[in-house]
Amino acid sequence: MSALTLVIGTRNYSSWSLRPWLLLRHLGLPFEERLFELDSAEFASEVPKLSPSGRVPVLLHGGLRIWESLAICEHASELAGGRGWPQDAALRAQARAVATEMHAGFAALRAACPMNVRATGRRVAMTPPLQQDLRRIDAIWSSCRRDHGERGPFLFGGFSVADAMFAPVVLRIRSYGLPLSGLAGHYRDHMLADAHLSEWIRAAELETRVLPHEEAGAGA
Ligand SMILES: N[C@@H](CCC(=O)N[C@@H](CS)C(=O)NCC(=O)O)C(=O)O
């Protein structure tokens, strides 16, 4: 297999970069990282040379350039013999549905609660759209844990692309103290204890870059 390089943005803020990074780690696929600080001159000049969309993440695999976090996760899963998804076809279909729902949705949560891994103790006004996103996330996590809890600690038992897609949501819920029901809260806690996610959090805590929209530093 040709070498893999994952191009990512500043860990503290780049929620899309975290998703394939975490999946590659869980799949045990060796890869190099190239990090470009978000909103920097170097990002603006170098990333478009590597990424057709001009955004991160992008996976470099031999001559291939794969952009879009979900497409990268699919490719990584194929390289790992399909281990990125549940083996059972029915579970796999459900896991794909929730991963895609995450990739395409939850705009209110994203807008109100930008990812800032280092931030804790933040508060946010609970608007109806945010409440609706949070209820839906709680429903997905709770039903997955109820239905698949005996298979393992992640949404569909073993770690899958679905968990990778929700990892930044776990961090947002932590930063903004968003309420969850019991089962969903257990899932959040399990994810926060994950060794690979903890490695990302520790690295984000060491970063010094502060994006302009975070300059007020509300809890960062
Ligand atoms: N839909 C894309 C979103 C990628 C994205 O928005 N990446 C952000 C960083 S988290 C980015 O590159 N921002 C810099 C820019 O848009 O110039 C994906 O799933 O990968």
All structural domains of the chain: 4-79 (3.40.30.10), 89-204 (1.20.1050.10)
DSSP 13: T
Task: Classify each residue of 122-134 as buried b or exposed e, where b means 16 or more C-beta atoms within 10 Å of its C-beta.
Answer: beeeeeeebeebb
- Pair of tokens at residue 215: 């300059």
Rg (CA), the chain: 17
Contacts (Cβ under 8 Å, ≥6 apart) of 183: 141, 142, 145, 146
Beta bridge partners of 67: 58
pLDDT-derived band at 213 (thresholds 50, 70, 90) equals confident
| Average pLDDT score over residue span 157-185 | 98
- Pair of tokens at residue 69: 């976090």
Which residue has the CA at smallest separation from atom 17 of ligand 1? 55
118-164 per-position pLDDT tens digit: 999 999 999 999 999 999 999 999 999 999 999 999 999 999 999 99
142-151 per-position pLDDT tens digit: 999 999 999 9
Atom of ligand 1 nearest to the CA of 57: 20
Strands of the sheet containing 4-9, edge to edge, are 32-36, 4-9, 58-61, 64-67
Residue 215's identity, in one-letter code, is: E
DSSP 14: -
Q: Residues lining ligand 1, judged by CB closer than 6 Å?
A: 9, 14-17, 38, 54-57, 68-69
Q: What is the dihedral of CA 160, 38, 32, 60, to 10 degrees?
A: 80
Asked whether the beta carbons of 127 and 113 are under 8 A apart, the reply is: no
Distance 194 CA to ligand 1 centre (A): 24
- Pair of tokens at residue 212: 């302009």
- pLDDT for 214 equals 78
ω into 57 cis (within 30 of 0): yes
- Pair of tokens at residue 55: 């955004």
Atom of ligand 1 nearest to the CA of 67: 20
Residue 6's identity, in one-letter code, is: L
Which residue has the CA at smallest separation from atom 11 of ligand 1? 55
pLDDT more than 90, % of the chain: 95
Atom of ligand 1 nearest to the CA of 15: 10
